[in-house]
Chains A and B, each alone.
Chain A
Amino acid sequence: MIKKVASVGLPVDEVLEIRKNRILPERHGGSGKRISIVTGIHGDELEGQYVCFELQRRLEGHRECLEGIVDIYPAVNPLGIDSITRGIPAFDLDMNRLFPGNIDGSMTEYVAARIIEDLAGSDCVLDIHASNIYLTEIPQIRINELHQDILVPLAEAANVDFIWVHGASTVLESTLAYSLNNIGTPTLVVEMGVGMRITQEYGNQLVDGIFHLMKKLGIWSGEAAPVRKPIISRNPEDVCYLNAGVSGLFVPVAEHGARLGRDALIGRIVDPLCGKVLDEVRAPEDGMLFTIREYPIVVEGSLMGRLLKKEVCGYE
């Protein structure tokens, strides 16, 4: 059942609509629980598009097992998705810095407020992101330390490889996830894959996790594949950031997700004009390369990867 969440007239012969698909159980009763899948806050992150499709495809096969409500919001920033724009076009605003919005505010604030209003009361919300066009991420859930007690048990059911509990930051108080968690609607932020692309393997992995999560919440009574045990990091020291020391072209050597020894070569920064290697990027510690640079041009400081230290990963 397609429902309108927000609607605003644009200046020239067009209406902006935020829509969701509400999938109800076939029979009356059920648990009355609700899970909401949200994606597309950043218009250049498309991994969640496949998840929305695949989740519905699998649900359709066994609708009799649905015991609660599934709300799917595939495009909360439709203008951004349509124009391959990360933020809200025309305003150059990051939509994920506008929440909780204001029902009496500007167009963007109003839309943000309507989205919050619609999602509030869900038993779980998944806000699916896809890193950005520069970096590829393994499937992971990021959690603000303020809400970890409620969210970590939910995240463990979602079949991701990594749960990253990060410190509180004032700037992040304007995000969808913070705003919802702040009003008691548990919200998990999923990061996986890369901007402007779909990684079906990761999408399928997350959909398995959503079914498992729904089962845990009493929304799904059918089969759910077992989930992997995620690595959980709560200490900022667990993660090494690899930033470019020079500007150039980054040519990776290591595979994404590789378990590397200290000093292993991750990639080279080269100068195509002079044909020279400007710098080598090496692992500062033993660990797993959970983030890797996808977009090859780097400027000094550009993030080229993140390494999760071996002792946290727990591998031999």
Chain B
Amino acid sequence: MNKTTLYTLKSLYRDDFRVTGYEFGSGKKSVCIVGSSRGNEVQQLYCCSQLIRKFRQLEAEGRIAAGHKILVLPSINPCSMNIQKRFWPTDNTDINRMFPGYCLGETTQRIADGVFREISEYQFGIQFTSFYMPGDFVPHVRLMDEGFSCPETARQFGLPYVVIRRVRPYDTATLNYNWQVWDTQAFSLYTTSTARIDPNSAGQAVLAVMNFLSRQDIIKYTVPGGLRSRVVNDADLISIRTAKSGIFVPMVKAGDTVEAGQPLANILEPYEGDILETLYAPLPMTAFFVHNEPLTYADTAVIKLIES
């Protein structure tokens, strides 16, 4: 293992901002794994830490295939993590909306540029990331519908679902999108949680990465019985929306299978406790995303269902 500082930025009063990378193996740039890019992505950081622990063991045992280099960046934004702020401390910009970056630009453009120079040209790019809405997901892998990341390759993670996302204008400045522009096959991994550690889904994500690398012959690792991922488009998810604002009381959690007509959540009047609305499953499906904040707004997709 080679621990290196990939990017540094001096601060006036705080410690230097450092992006740290962990290299395993040597040879061609085979896979790069990026953890948290936002200050609240603790689960994403944790997943990388567990992968680093695993790769260290594999390397010591000679189980990283010759000619392959693996690079892991547990966090590209420790500065925000340390003050528990999602975006960049001084100007609230999102590093994951600054790629490929610009070396003469503003601070987060420079960070994106400095990081991207180190993590581009890999064959595969894997990013642990999070959704802008608060909620829990069924662990899955996402890829953009533009570029050349292939759903069949994404199936090698062995997660229950591969979701193909239609590119929106704001996606074009994300790491995932730009990796692909520069010929890296990019995959975003979503685990159950973001701001808290869920060891089970983190374990599932670590195993998924190990599966993938093993099937690509980058590591030697015994893969348990393979799960055949279902490939879906994000448009195929069924959104269960609130009609009312109020207190959100879920009756299912991410991953639960639900019957047609099953109550999924209640929305309560916040002062008097009356049920304003009950949300029901229209079809027998699986709860793919469940809102996890106690309050909700009207017209909000608090639950997303997917074919089981």
A residues with a Cβ closer than 8 A to B are 8-13, 86-87, 91-93, 97, 105-107, 110, 132, 134, 170-174, 241, 243, 246-249, 271, 273, 297, 299-303
Contact = CB atoms under 8 A, between A and B. Distances in A.
Given A9-B245, A12-B270, A246-B10, 17 more contacts: A8-B245, A8-B299, A11-B246, A11-B247, A13-B270, A93-B132, A106-B299, A170-B169, A172-B169, A174-B168, A241-B104, A247-B9, A299-B9, A300-B9, A300-B110, A302-B106, A302-B107
B90 A299 contact: yes
A8 B245 CA distance: 9
A297 B300 contact: no
A92 B247 CA distance: 20
Nearest to A134: B91
Nearest 8 pairs of A and B residues by beta carbon = A301-B107, A173-B169, A11-B295, A301-B110, A11-B245, A107-B297, A170-B172, A247-B12
A171 B91 contact: no
A299 B105 CA distance: 12
Contacts of A243: 104-106
B211 to A, nearest CB: 34
B11 interface: yes
Given A171-B172, A299-B90, A110 B299 contact: yes
B173 A171 contact: yes
A249 B90 CA distance: 13
A9 B242 CA distance: 11
B67 to A, nearest CB: 37
* Dominant secondary structure at the B interface: loop
A174 B169 contact: yes
A24 to B, nearest CB: 32
B169 A11 contact: no
B86 interface: yes
Contacts of A302: 90-91, 106-107
B86, B108, B110: residue with the most chain A Cβ atoms closer than 10 Å = B110
Interface in B32-84: none
Given A13-B270, A171-B172, A301-B107, A107 B298 contact: yes
Interface of B: 9-13, 86-87, 90-92, 97, 104-111, 132-133, 168-170, 172-173, 244-247, 270-271, 295-301
Contacts of A93: 132
A13 B270 CA distance: 8
B130 to A, nearest CB: 12
A11 B109 contact: no
A10 B245 contact: yes
Given A8-B297, A174-B169, A92 B12 contact: no
A300 B108 CA distance: 10
Contacts of B270: 11-13
Contacts of A271: 12
Contacts of B111: 301
B245 A171 contact: no
A174 B133 CA distance: 18
Contacts of A132: 91
B106 A301 contact: yes
A56 to B, nearest CB: 32
A132 B299 CA distance: 30
A216 B134 CA distance: 48
Contact of A106 (B86, B97, B271, B301): B301
A301 B109 contact: yes
Contact of A86 (B92, B105, B247): B92
A229 B137 CA distance: 56
Given A11-B295, A106-B301, A92 B132 contact: yes
A174 B170 contact: yes
A144 to B, nearest CB: 13
B107 A300 contact: yes
Residue with the greatest number of chain B CB neighbours at <10 A, chosen from A106, A110, A301: A301
Nearest to B92: A86
A173 B169 CA distance: 6
Contacts of B295: 11-12
